[in-house]
Amino acid sequence: MAEKVLRGRRHALKWSLGASLVLAAFGAQAQAQANGMQLASCDGPFQQMLQASQTFDARAVWLDRHLIKWPGADGKAQFKLYHSAQGLLNAKPGAKVGGADGALTLKVHDAALSAELQQRFKYLGHAPTLGLQAADAAKLPELLKQQVLIVQENADGTVRDVTGLQTAGVLDDLYAAAEQAQDLGATVRKTSTSFRLWAPSARQIAVCSYDTGYGKAARIEPMRFDAKTGIWSMGKRGRHAGKYYSYLVDVHAPSAGLVRNLVTDPYSVSLTTDSKRSYIADLDDPKLKPRGWDQHRSPARVQAQPDMSIYELHVRDFSINDASVSAPNRGKYAAFKESGSNGMRHLAALSKAGMTDVHLLPVYDIGSVPEKGCAVPAPQGAPDSDAQQAAVMAAHKTDCYNWGYDPYHYSAPEGSYSSDPADGARRISEFRDMVMALHKTGLRVGMDVVYNHTYIAGQDEKSVLDRIVPGYYHRLNPKGEIERSTCCYNTATENRMMGKLMVDSAELWTRHYRIDSFRFDLMGHQPRAAMETLQARVNKAAGRHINLIGEGWNFGEVENGARFVQASQLSLNGSGIGTFSDRARDAVRGGGAGDSGERVFSQQGYINGLVYDANAMARPRPLADLLKASDLVKVGLAGSIRSYPLQTHTGEVRELQAIDYAGQPAGYAAQPGEVVNYVENHDNQTLYDANAMKLPLNTSSADRARVQILGAAINAFSQGVAYYHAGFDVLRSKSLDRNSFESGDWFNRLDWTYRDNYFGTGLPPAADNGKDYALLRPLLANAALKPSPEDIAFTRDAFRDLLKIRASSTLFRLRTAEDIKQRLHFLNTGPSQAPTVIAAHIDGSGYAGAGFKSVTYLINVGKSEQSIAGQAGKAFRLHPVHSSASAADKRAAQARYDAASGRFTIPARTALVFVE
């Protein structure tokens, strides 16, 4: 044994001396080759298998450097941690472990866990806790680079049970210092360029350098490992901006074995075509900035979060169908620079009317759209044909379209929107051009970000994070498989370095692209603490408040705080971060987001006929259902404030948090800025399409336009953030598509000439809609359901009038819950109310920006004129927008107020405002 060890040491010394001589003679590139990494590997396949391994599930969870939990294990058994540097472990029940380089004995740990560990790993429940011996702790950094298994052994040393381990907890403990690193990725300085990559479980890493985004590799250089942070680094002389790079990473992937991965940088700021190589850039380089970039400022239109009126827009949707945009720029960032285009004139008009923000659907690098040579189908067919969807779906994997909820690189602009995706610089400068163009139009710019999942995981070519630190960045289930409750591969932002990646990314967009706000997809899957850290960082980067809103839905493996305090509707109150409210949305539209079949038709809402105008499929409903819906609409109008007192339809006064919404409190926010009000966004059917199914078939086209404006008015008058889907104001239809995320340009078109809304352009894609074709086909074939250009123009102009009214007074944008409780008073409440009318008075006395002594808004969703009691002896007059000669809705001028009786009379299907 001693002689064998001595021979091994002599061999190691001889190799080390030889490597040193080679390094001295040929430099770092030769060292990388001496370590087994060849320059040719930089141009090779995305993965080389160095040693296949037997795979295991991962039911044990490594809590920190001392402790492991194994749910379901027998706490009275004996346990060992086996390891193999080459991944040769072989463990089968009833046999002894083979292929091990060694084993550590684990002891059952009976002491209580620290409060921190108890909180982080509470989802594991009661399970045996195993402890490493103190002397073995120093071995962990090396063991974590190997294949490791926990074996529960029988008395004779044979395997009773075996499992792999989930390692996020121990990596977070050992390498906590990495969280403070400021320069991960490629950093260009005055005279040098550095590369830093967090990969504590990697065996070795080298940087591959390329002079272009498509030529062969020029150099391969090894990186050095820092045992304190787990960060690999390499520095070189000179500014290498404009070049490209990738990493070669040798790492043991539990799902495969010891692999050599050719992979891009998680901290990439740009890439070449289809994200094959990362781009080296100094984002402060003047060459990457449009003229005037440093001097221009974001519009100062939002003093408090409720000031936000948001238009949700997809970059490709915006211009791909706009013939007034030059052909090369259609569907691209560059389209926003064409200020004379129909689309930009539309946005400018919205801005002038009072829209404050454009929120862009994902514009970071996405994995689902080919950046070069993507297909553009040209469907044809009758209004109710399935030929159009067949053509679209035949090309959906190779076409130019996707919403973009498929994150590939979080901090790099998407290349398919660039005029030249092969040029890493072009997408940076053109993205900035887009932002500056929108700012010049008076619109702030928000980003839809998707830090809750990745497009791909594991050892797939388009997996980045998992191919660098396998098993770390994603949230794992009890078997060690990646949770997929968000539809894709859920990330674990509760882990230090995934949380850091999210925060660092948001800070980069804020600092280098002047992003004014963020909309977080499925934000409830992230910890509130991580979101609050992010808020502080982006505020500091911008030198002002950056607005954060997101989807606060509560579901999946994190539901009800199973793993941490979530950034969800019920858990964010007091944070100032806004969440989308489904309370008024469902009451206004009718039904819920998951409805299908006849239920989509029968579940009418407050604006489209519930009880008072039943359609052919609606079963008889009691008046109480309409009154309950009215209460929920009022919840939204009052900003969903928990403590706001409302007289309900029963006559009792209840705080909004005591009103039921599907088993949850209807009122959930502490302040109005914590609520985002909407009746339509990119998800589900557009409101026009929902109304096509819910309104009685004999509803006139003009009345369908009026119903659309009723939905817009409820949103405009609601306290909190107002959120609108692009095209809502021009009766946008997706031909009844309930999920157009990959339905191509055809089903996602916008018409800025205001001639067509694209209803009746074919049956929507079968995957999400096919089961309802028998119900949808007659609607699409019905020409009476397609609006006229006059109806579209009315909706467009009436919508802008509502924006003007909201912008005219802070009374529609009250700053605090106390302001709402003191100043907002609903009229026409209780058991004797006129059920199709919602009315409220807002006191403006002494309130900054009120503009009026008071405002009273009235919304009559019914088909006939209604009269309700108000305040007598007042000097109410129609809002100046309504009384203007250019007012879009002439019917509003028929409204009356009688000072002697105090009664208001409101025309059918009309929303309006009186002021004094």
Catalytic amino acids? 521, 551
What type of residue is 875?
A
Cα distance between residue 658 and residue 575, in whole Å = 21
Q: What is the distance, to the nearest Å, from the Cα of residue 757 to the centroid of all Cα atoms in its chain?
A: 27
CB atoms within 10 A of CB 591: 18
* CA separation for the pair 384, 761 (Å, rounded): 7
CA distance 77 to 67: 16
CB 220 within 8 A of CB 207: yes
- Please spell the DSSP secondary structure of 813-874, one letter per residue: S--SHHHHHHHEEEES-STTS-TTEEEEEEE-TT-TT--SSEEEEEEE-SSS-EEEE--TT-
Phi/psi of residue 703, each to 5°?
-70, -30
Write the secondary structure of 544-575 as one string of H (helix), E (strand) and C (coil). CCCEEEECCCCCHHHHHHCCCCECCHHHCCCC
What length is written for the chain? 916
DSSP codes joined into one string, 354-397: T--EEEES--EEESSS-SSS-B-------TT-SHHHHHHHHTTT
φ and ψ of 774, to 5 deg: -60, -30
Position 132, amino acid? L
CA separation for the pair 470, 254 (Å, rounded): 7
Q: What is the CA radius of gyration of the chain?
A: 30
Q: DSSP states of 197-252 as a string? A: EE-TTEEEEEEEEESSSSSPEEEEEE-EE-TTT-EEEEEEES--TT-EEEEEEEEE
Residue 816 and residue 671 in contact, taking contact as beta carbons nearer than 8 Å: yes
Whether 181 contacts 200, CB under 8 Å: no
Are 409 and 271 a contacting pair, CB within 8 Å? yes
Instruction: Tell me if residue 626 falls in helix, strand or coil.
Output: helix
Question: Which of 412, 480, 423, 475 minimizes the C-alpha distance to 447?
Answer: 412
Structure tokens at 293: 């970039």
On the CB side of 616, how many CA atoms lie within 13 Å of its CA? Answer: 7
Rounded to an integer, what distance in angstroms lies between the CA atom of residue 728 and that of residue 682?
10
User: Which element (helix H / strand E) includes 82?
Assistant: strand 78-84
CA distances in angstroms from 40 to 32, 209, 521, 655, 853, listed in the order given: 12, 12, 40, 69, 76
d(CA 814, CA 840): 14
Q: Cα-Cα-Cα-Cα dihedral of 429, 431, 433, 437, to 10°?
A: -170
Q: Please state, in angstroms and as integers, the Cα–Cα distance from residue 721 to each residue in 481, 577, 785, following that order.
A: 38, 11, 31
Output DSSP code: residue 46.
S
Nearest-angstrom CA–CA distance, 58 and 478: 7
The pair of three-digit structure tokens given for residue 290, joined into one six-digit string = 């449009």
